[in-house]
Chain A
Amino acid sequence: MTPQLAIFFVLAALAVLGALNLIIQRHPIHSALSLIVVMIALAGLYLLMGSEFVAAVQIIVYGGAIMVLFVFVIMLLNAGVEERTNVSKLAGVAGIPLAVALLGFLAAAIARSNESAQTGLQSGTLANTKEISTMLFKDFVYPFELTSFLILVAILGAIVLAQREKN
Chain B
Amino acid sequence: MISFLNANATIIIYLVKIALLLFIVLTVNAYLTWFERKVVAHMQSRWGPHRVGPHGLLQPLADGAKFLLKEDPTPAGVDKFTYFLAPLMALALALTSIAIIPFGPQPLHIFGRDITLGIADLNIGILALFAITALSVYGVALAGWSSNSKYPLLGGLRSSAQMVSYELALTMSVVGVLLLAGSFNLRDIINAQAHHPERGILGWNVWPQILGFFCFFVAAVAETNRVPFDLPEAESELVAGFHTEYASFKFAMFFIAEYTSMITVSCLCTIMFFGGWLSPFPASWTFTHYLPSVILIPFGLWVIWDGIRYETIFGKIILPGVGAAIFVIGAVLIAFSSVNEFIQGPFWLLSKIFVFLFVYVWMRGTLPRFRYDQLMSFGWKLLLPVSIANVVITAFAILMWGAR
The chain A residues found within 8 Å of chain B, CB to CB, are: 27, 29-30, 33, 36, 40, 43, 52-53, 55-57, 59-60, 63-65, 68-69, 71-72, 75-76, 78, 128-129
Contact = CB atoms under 8 A, between A and B. Distances in A.
A29 B134 contact: no
A56 B139 CA distance: 19
A54 to B, nearest CB: 10
Contacts of A69: 164
**Majority DSSP secondary structure for residues of B touching A:** helix
A57 B167 CA distance: 13
B122 A68 contact: no
B141 A56 contact: no
Contact of B124 (A30, A52, A64, A76): A52
B138 interface: yes
A59 B131 contact: yes
28 contacts: A29-B82, A29-B142, A29-B146, A30-B82, A33-B82, A33-B85, A36-B138, A52-B124, A55-B124, A56-B130, A57-B127, A59-B134, A59-B135, A64-B133, A64-B135, A64-B137, A65-B134, A65-B164, A68-B138, A71-B160, A72-B141, A75-B144, A75-B145, A75-B156, A76-B157, A128-B123, A129-B124, A129-B184
Interface of B: 79, 81-82, 85, 122-124, 127-128, 130-131, 133-135, 137-138, 141-142, 144-146, 153, 156-157, 160-161, 163-164, 167, 171, 184
A60 B123 contact: no
Nearest to B156: A75
A8 B131 CA distance: 21
B127 A60 contact: yes
Contacts of B141: 68, 71-72, 75
B185 to A, nearest CB: 11
A59 B250 CA distance: 26
Nearest to B163: A68
Contact of A63 (B122, B134, B146): B134
Nearest to A130: B182
A23 to B, nearest CB: 17
Nearest to B134: A64
A43 B130 CA distance: 14
B124 A65 contact: no
A76 B160 CA distance: 11
A65 B138 contact: no
A60 B124 contact: no
Contacts of B184: 129
Contacts of A30: 81-82
A162 B213 CA distance: 32
Nearest to A40: B135
Given A64-B167, A68-B164, A56 B145 contact: no
A60 B131 contact: yes
B184 to A, nearest CB: 7
A2 B140 CA distance: 38
B391 to A, nearest CB: 14
B122 A71 contact: no
B127 A65 contact: no
A29 B157 CA distance: 14
A63 B160 contact: no
Contacts of B138: 36, 68, 71
From B79, B127, B142, B161, name the one whose CB has the most chain A CB atoms within 10 angstroms.
Answer: B127
Given A33-B82, A75-B141, A56 B157 contact: no
A137 to B, nearest CB: 12
A58 B167 CA distance: 15
A63 B135 CA distance: 7
Contacts of B137: 64, 68
A76 B161 CA distance: 11
Given A27-B79, A71-B141, 12 more contacts: A29-B82, A29-B146, A33-B142, A43-B131, A52-B127, A55-B124, A56-B130, A60-B134, A64-B133, A64-B135, A75-B153, A75-B156
Contacts of B131: 43, 56, 59-60, 63-64
